[in-house]
Amino acid sequence: MTYFHLAIGLFIVTYVFIISEKVHRTITAICGAVLMIVLGVINQHQAIEGIDFNTLGLLIGMMVVVGIARQSGFFQSAALYVAQVGKGKPIPIFLLLSITIALFSAILDNVTAVLLMVPVTFVLTNHLKVSPYPFLVGTILFANIGGAATLIGDPPNILIGSAANLSFNDFLVHLAPVSLIIMVVTLGLLYFWFRKEFVANPAAQKKIMAFQPKEAITDWPLLYKSLGVISLIVVGFFTHGITHLEGATIAMGGAALLLLMTAIDPEDHLKEIEWTTIFFFMGLFVLVAALEHVGAIRILAEQLLVLTKGSQTSTVIVTLWGAALLSAVVDNIPFVATMIPLIEDIGTLTNLDLQPLWWALALGADIGGNATLVGASANVVVNGMAEKENVHIGFLRYMKVAIPMTLVALSISTLYLFLRYL
């Protein structure tokens, strides 16, 4: 057996274990990565070179900042305020809350956004005496749609941005517009789908209007500090073209500044970092580096080009729909991590314009995750929170709404990519 076969075999076994969830995906990824080195597919030096520390730094920095910021109660307060803007009526609340989730998950990662919004959703639907189901479905869909809009909105975007050297502004210019269109269309369709569920309740309306959303803010100084730092981070991303500071530097800079301003002992705040995610990424990077090293990814790239006959249009469309299909069933992070070197290889094999391919990959991976309850981490988290409150979203019941919505979103993406780049 050659290293080539060994690497592919090990990679596939690791992937199967990740999908089956028999063992925690982080443990699986680390085991696979270490085996790649121990069995001699790559050496440790090559493995470490494969780890994208810019992605890790950006993730860790944002986790620290968001972990501190959410303690201020700002996000919950904003959501309660939105309910008042909606005059305490179910339809405007549903629409405004959905937009809020999309906005939050464009700045925060999707899981954090839903962790903040689902409790508020329960509180509001308990008042309104309406089923939380449409709201929860909306939470999932808009978390993933909003996450697609920015560099920091969804981990696949961070991976792509870091590998392809695409800036925060690039994502805003290229992905935010289509994300916005998808949001508006999905909002309209969801309203139409669930319209019978939204029955107004005058008593609830009165109670919601009597809320003092400011009372949800537990720490004003923390709120000012964390919003200040988040703004600075965004400014840092905006001005990347001038300063040439990379994502990890900006996010870590923000984290350091906020820790400096708030923490007596950083231990508690550093616990907010989801180390399981970070180690999962590290393991994946090494696995993919090994696959790349033995030339397996190059072969996959060649196969894809044979399939698309090397045409720009079909390569972009196949990437979009293929990414969506796979992200609906597999976690989109390992998938995107594998696709990145593949697209880089397409760049060296052909003279295709790579940018549209990156956007197709990001859109497919982010939006495709909406199709099933296991398509993205945010979906799993929302389902788990709902189950605990005896609200059963249901795998098939969810797909009945989500698959049409995802198909519409992908059609919009196809049209957008076609009109803008092809």
Given 50, 61, 73, 88, the residue binding other proteins (CB under 8 A): 73
Q: Which of 41, 120, 145, 374 binds other proteins (CB under 8 A)?
A: 120
Please identify, using beta-carbon distances, which residue of 120 and 326 lies nearer to other proteins.
Answer: 120
**Site mask, other proteins, residues 379-418, x = CB under 8 A?**
------x--xxx----------------------------
Instruction: Please give the size of the binding site for other proteins, defined by CB under 8 A.
Output: 23
List 215, 220, 227, 392, residue binding other proteins (CB under 8 A):
215
Q: What is the distance between the alpha carbons of residues 263 and 100, in angstroms, rounded to a whole number?
A: 29
Nearest to 376 by CA among 105, 72, 86, 68: 105
Contact characters 318-347, other proteins, x per CB under 8 A: ------------------------------
Nearest to other proteins of 116, 361 (CB atom): 116
CB 94 within 8 A of CB 139: no
CB nearer to other proteins: give 129 or 400: 129
Tokens of 342: 């593949």
Establish if 240 lies at the interface with other proteins (CB under 8 A): no
How many whole angstroms separate alpha carbon 192 and alpha carbon 261?
47
Q: For residue 400, count CB atoms less than 10 angstroms from its CB and return exposed for 0-12, middle for 13-18, buried for 19 or more.
A: exposed
Q: Is 123 in the site for other proteins (CB under 8 A)?
A: yes
How far apart (Å, rounded) are the C-alpha atoms in residues 282 and 47?
Answer: 9
By CB under 8 A, tell whether 44 contacts other proteins.
no
Q: Which is nearer to other proteins, 197 or 353 (CB)?
A: 197
Using CA atoms of 54, 56, 62, 64 in order, give the dihedral in degrees to the nearest 10: -130
Single out the segment in contact with other proteins by CB under 8 A; choices: 92-100, 121-129, 232-240, 306-314.
Answer: 121-129
Distance from C-alpha of 141 to C-alpha of 190, rounded to nearest angstrom: 10
146 burial via Cβ count (<10 Å: 0-12, 13-18, 19+) = buried
Q: Does 268 bind other proteins (CB under 8 A)?
A: no
Position 207 contacts other proteins (CB under 8 A): yes
Long-range contacts, stretch 347-354, CB < 8 angstroms, 24+ apart: 349/298, 349/301, 349/302, 349/305, 350/305, 350/310, 352/310, 352/312, 352/315, 353/312, 353/421, 354/164
Q: Which stretch binds other proteins (CB under 8 A): 13-21, 116-124, 152-160, 226-234?
A: 116-124
Residue 127 makes contact with other proteins by CB under 8 A: yes
**CA distances for 330 relative to 195, 315, 366, angstroms:** 32, 21, 12
Beta carbon of residue 129, minimum distance to other proteins (angstroms, whole number)? 8
The answer to whether residue 198 forms part of the interface with other proteins (CB under 8 A) is no
Check residue 119 for interaction with other proteins (CB under 8 A).
yes
**Is 76 one of the binding residues for other proteins (CB under 8 A)?**
yes
Which residues are at the interface with other proteins (CB under 8 A)? 73, 76, 80, 115-116, 118-120, 122-123, 126-127, 204, 207, 211, 215-218, 385, 388-390
